[in-house]
Structure 1
């Protein structure tokens, strides 16, 4: 015991030096990892500008593309100083609107601001003061709030502090309560952003279809698919998700088809169609 105590005492004397050494080693490890990823995954050097724009050509999600073995579908993103500031991405379930749009853009903007190359063919990114997200809320026994209350808190922070150089990422906000309440809250938030004199850059993806489409301040995008136009969404035998962002509004959710892909039994699917 005395030997151990003496060893600890001597090591503790070098504590500050060891802490600094660990911090330097961690930073070096991070820089080497970013450099290796940029070389092996063909990342490009982004252009950071004082112009309040966001232009990404053929952007990719850095983790998703590693799991699809060469068949990843990249997408473009364009937000200008005076237009397309608030974009709403709609689309069926399983179409990729979360990973291939909003999360991808958030990661690219973050990487650019820490000095990393980014997964795209080209990227011009205006300096961003904050990145706000309403993506996924994790329940915690230590936090006396429901999942929906946490979602509301995140949106409240975004609405209160989002400025013209902020990036706001919204993924499926409003699904934790009644549909009417969820749609109303989402539409009100989007209206608040779009009517601001200097709105932040907002990317919101949703499966809701009950929203005002005639709003000149909003840009509506959707995920492209191939489906039989002569059949309803519940009757589709095969739906091909192209994972490509195109202008327009959402197709049906194809929830029954997604349930089929997930392996639900045929009798359950048939009953779902009947209901």
Structure 2
């Protein structure tokens, strides 16, 4: 049987009287099949071997699969080894390209990072400002305040990434790092899952609830703007209660908490404790104005508290205000 990509014309068939139309196939390129005297002779001699060929192909594939399955444990082991080697090589290449250092893991529940950086954020900006982290027996609950757009969330996430990378055997983006063994990293970062019917605030509550029930002195707890998804009074109460819960530990987990709810400082929503340390992301505001257009974000973590958010200034930077 012979075929053509396009159906031959009736005039051409008159010149090719030996061609007899058999059938056509639809597809991206429609094909038309014809019998000739020679193909009819082959059909009579051999029969329709197309289905025989398909049967032979299926038999060969089944035999190949059976033979391969005999070596499934060895193949699985080889694939897992190749995947692990690929991960290790990738970590090594990134560490060399971005000047990562080898962390020191210790059984002490401490965390000391010198000039830590965010592994992803530093690749997207021209200049990244590194920050130090020091958590020992005192000051384990770090309350971080500061204006919008000042780098609070990036700082919290970069600490978690350094701890995580250290535990999977990778070098870390820092000048040096001493990382205590960590059993869990708890996050309440305001993420919203599109597959659930819960609000962002309810997701935060579940995450913080899990954190409060299961965190140990070896855990790392991250809370980014917890309490902002409801009325200010309720949010302040929830945040203050969470801080008080951790402060009542004999040896609290390592907590990094960012917030704009500065009322927790003025209204004494949590007890005075050596476990609590207050930090802020510094800005350069020469005149001390609340709406100064000359504000410069320094992205540097320093001791202290910030009572202003400079939200209007950030809105101006975002282009919300028209001239």
TM-score where L is the length of structure 1:
0.88
Q: 1:45-67: per-residue Cα shift (whole Å, max 9, x none)?
A: 11111111111011111111112
Residue 238 of structure 1: aligned partner? 294
Q: Does the 8 Å contact 2:190/2:200 carry over to 1?
A: no
In the alignment, structure 1 residue 186 sits paired with structure 2 residue 244: no
Which residue does the alignment assign to 2:283? 225
SS in 1 for 2:299: strand
Cα RMSD (Å) of the superposition?
A: 1.9
CA shift, 1:238, in A, is 2.3
Superimposed CA distance per residue, residues 232-269 of structure 1 (whole angstroms, 9 cap, x where no aligned partner): x2x311210000000000141111111111111337xx
Q: Which 4+ residue blocks in structure 1 deviate beyond 6 angstroms?
A: none
Report how far residue 135 of structure 1 moved: 1.2
Deviation (angstroms), 1:12: 6.6
Q: Does 1:63 align with 2:116?
A: no
CA drift at 1:21: 3.5
Note the alpha carbon deviations across 1:108-153, whole angstroms, 9 max, x for none. Answer: 0011111111111111111111111111322324x23222111111
Q: Secondary structure at the match of 2:84?
A: helix
Structure 1 residues 154-204: Cα deviation after superposition (integer angstroms, max 9, x where no partner): 001100000011111111111111111111111110110011112111011
- Report the CA distance between 1:68 and its aligned residue: 1.7
Equivalent of residue 142 in structure 2, options 84, 87, 90: 87
User: In structure 1, how many angstroms separate the alpha carbons of the residues matched to 2:67 and 2:186?
Assistant: 42
What is the DSSP-based 3-state SS (H/G/I as helix, E as strand, rest coil) of the residue aligned with 1:219?
strand
2:129 equivalent in structure 1: 73
2: distance between equivalents of 1:12 and 1:118? Answer: 45
- For residues 171 and 288 of structure 2, what CA distance do their matches in structure 1 show? 45
Deviates more, 1:1-10 or 1:123-132: 1-10
- Pair member with larger Rg: 2
Confirm whether residue 153 of structure 1 aligns to residue 206 of structure 2.
yes
C-alpha displacement of 1:5: 7.5
Distance 1:36 1:189, change over 3 A: same
Q: Which residue of 2 aligns with 1:53?
A: 110
Q: Which of the pair has the greater relative contact order for Cα pairs under 8 Å at 6+ separation?
A: 1
Unaligned 5+ segments in structure 2 are: 1-53
Matches within 5 A, 1:111-190: 111-141=165-195, 143-190=196-243
> SS of the counterpart of 2:90?
helix
Instruction: Give the superposition deviation at 1:87.
Output: 0.5
Partner of 2:49: none
Instruction: Tell me the residue number matched to 1:97.
Output: 152
CA drift of 1:229 comes to 2.7
* Pick aligned residue for 2:259 from 191, 206, 211: 206
Which of 71, 86, 110 does residue 164 from structure 2 map onto? Answer: 110
Equivalent residue for 1:31?
88
Q: SS in structure 1 opposite 2:320?
A: coil
Residues in 1 aligned to 2:295 and 2:109: alpha-carbon distance in whole angstroms: 38
Structure 1 segments unaligned to the other structure (5+ residues): 268-275
With normalisation by structure 2, the TM-score equals 0.76
Aligned residue pairs, count: 261
The 1:13–1:219 alpha-carbon spacing in structure 2 relative to 1, beyond 3 Å, is: farther
Residue equivalent to 1:263: 319
